[in-house]
Amino acid sequence: MAVHLTLLRHAESTGNAAGVWQGSTDAELTPRGRAQADAVVGRLAGRSFDLVVSTGMRRTDETIAGLRAPVEVDPGFREIALGEWEGLSAAEVRARYPDAVARLLAGEDVAPTGGETLREFVERIVAALAGLLDRLDDGDRVLVVTHGGVIQNLVAHHLGLEPGFRSMGIVANTSLTELVVDDAGVRLEVYNDAVHLPDPWTRGRHAADPHVHLIRHGETDANVSGRWQGRTDTLLNANGLAQAELLAKVAPPVDVVVASPLRRARDTADALARLRGVPLRIDPDLVEIDFGSWENRTREEIAHLDAEGYRAVYGEGRDLPRGGTGETFAEASRRIARAVARAAEDPGADEPGLVGHGGAFRAYVATVLGLDFVDRDRLALPRNASVSTVRLDESGATVARYNVAVPA
């Protein structure tokens, strides 16, 4: 069984614009929010959904009013109830309720008067999703129009992360997050995709923190045929070249481009650097995972030619050097972490774009999220010419977006 879930955060509300915590407050959309709603409805117009679910709040219902589709209401997907904290800014909550905030930061499960604890909130939304999944059939596609905290915590829960609002970055108004639920579990396909908006790469409230964009190269013939390229130096095909040119026009506002030395990444990076008029540098740490003797073979060929090695890695979950002489998932992750750190520490770069490879980038993002090799399939492999973003601060790295592909 496989079910595709699209989680849509509502458009900007009056509470969002005022910078206050809404929770259960039934706020309406702002004029800017209505424009965002029009944009996302236009984007979704070409998609077919077997079911559309809303929380019944004004800000969610108004967001999808233009879809003109039957909508089922499920209050289980509503935002966390914040009781007496609703209508206040974060600074006001800290000033008025310092003891409760201190207990929250210490890890206690605290509820504002009239509100929910984080544990109660997560239990509620997880139960709502489980109830929804129980009613679906194989192949169903569902749109759930909900709230930022719900999306963050549903994703965190199904990735096996701690509940809260730190593991996954804040999702933008009208952003799309996509999950696939099948017999293997829940897989995150896309996180925080807002490319339908005029400002899809906004940093929001974390504008002062370094942001590093991880950009996968355009398509190659090996990608099409399912061959594991690794360190093999393949070229972009015609579609990949077109992807690189389009990416250069709509990618985040990078001020330096750093690329893997492999041609498929360098050519993708060159298009971006050339159009933006920014420096292009090469970092050997951005190369793809070394697949050893498995290079340039399909999964089926590898399983046939090296059944024992393939079974050890992908059947038993042992993170061994690929193809006997290659590299491990953990080694690739450490390489990318070094490249990210160097880019973030560059005094001449406020928003670097790192152009590299899907396998190595997924290994790094998985490590940021605390996922082991055996959990790697909870994250989809980044698509060609997709953008994933990490935000860095004194606490470490946070995944701000994942596998966001530029519009075709």
Q: What are the sequence ranges of the domains in the chain?
A: 2-193, 204-405
Q: pLDDT at residue 363 above 80?
A: yes
Which pLDDT value is given to residue 108? Answer: 81
Token look-up 């130096």 returns 233
Compute, in degrees rounded to 10, the torsion defined by CA atoms 176, 190, 128, 29. -10
- What pLDDT sits at residue 408? 63
Q: Pick from 190, 188, 239, 196: which is nearest to 218 by CA?
A: 239
pTM, to two decimals: 0.96
Residue 84: its pLDDT value, please?
95
Tell me what pLDDT residue 68 has. 86
Instruction: Enter the tokens of residue 97.
Output: 């309720």
User: pLDDT-based confidence at 2, cuts 50/70/90?
Assistant: very high
Q: Give me the pLDDT at residue 70, please.
A: 93
Token duo for residue 367:
């490590």
pLDDT attached to residue 207: 80
pLDDT at site 234: 98
Most distant CA pair in the chain: distance in Å? 66
Q: Which of the 8 DSSP states describes residue 29?
A: B
Task: Give domain 2-193's CATH architecture.
Answer: 3-Layer(aba) Sandwich (3.40)
Query: What's the mean pLDDT in 88-115?
Result: 88
Helix (H, G, I), strand (E, B) or coil at 365: helix
- The pLDDT confidence band at residue 39, using thresholds 50, 70 and 90, is very high
Q: What's the pLDDT score for residue 71?
A: 96
Query: How many whole angstroms separate alpha carbon 265 and alpha carbon 257?
Result: 11
Question: What is the arrangement of strands in the sheet containing 72-73, beginning at the earlier edge strand?
Answer: 72-73, 51-54, 141-146, 2-9, 176-182, 185-193, 396-405, 386-393, 211-216, 352-356, 256-259, 280-282
Burial class (CB in 10 A: 0-12, 13-18, 19+), 262: buried
3-class state of residue 11 by DSSP = coil
Backbone angles phi and psi of 228, in degrees to 5: -80, 105
The number of CA neighbours under 13 Å toward the Cβ of 218 is: 25
Give the tokens for residue 76.
Answer: 């289980």
- 214-247: buried (b, 16+ CB within 10 Å) or exposed (e) per residue? bbbbbbbebbeeebbbbbeebebbebbbebbbbb
Helix (H, G, I), strand (E, B) or coil at 77: helix
216-222 mean pLDDT: 98
Around Cβ 51, how many Cβ atoms within 10 Å?
17
Lowest mean pLDDT among 56-65, 197-206, 318-327, 328-337: 197-206
Note the pLDDT of residue 204. Answer: 79
Average pLDDT, whole number, for the chain?
95
| Residue 378 and residue 363 in contact, taking contact as beta carbons nearer than 8 Å | no
Angle at 54 between CA 9 and CA 155, to 5 degrees: 45
What pLDDT is attached to residue 165? Answer: 60
Q: What is the chain's Cα-based Rg?
A: 22
Question: In the predicted model, is pLDDT for residue 164 greater than 80?
Answer: no
Give me the mean pLDDT over the 295-324 stretch: 97
Torsion angle, alpha carbons of 101, 164, 177, 71, to 10? -70
Asked whether this chain's domains 2-193 and 204-405 adopt the same fold, the reply is yes
Output the pLDDT for position 101.
83
Q: What is the pLDDT averaged over residues 141-162?
A: 95
> Would the pLDDT of 321 be above 70?
yes
Report the percent of the chain where pLDDT is more than 70: 99
Report H helices in 251-328: 263-276, 299-305, 307-310
Positions marked active-site = 217, 288
pLDDT at 302: 98
Question: Looking at domain 204-405, which CATH architecture does it have?
Answer: 3-Layer(aba) Sandwich (3.40)
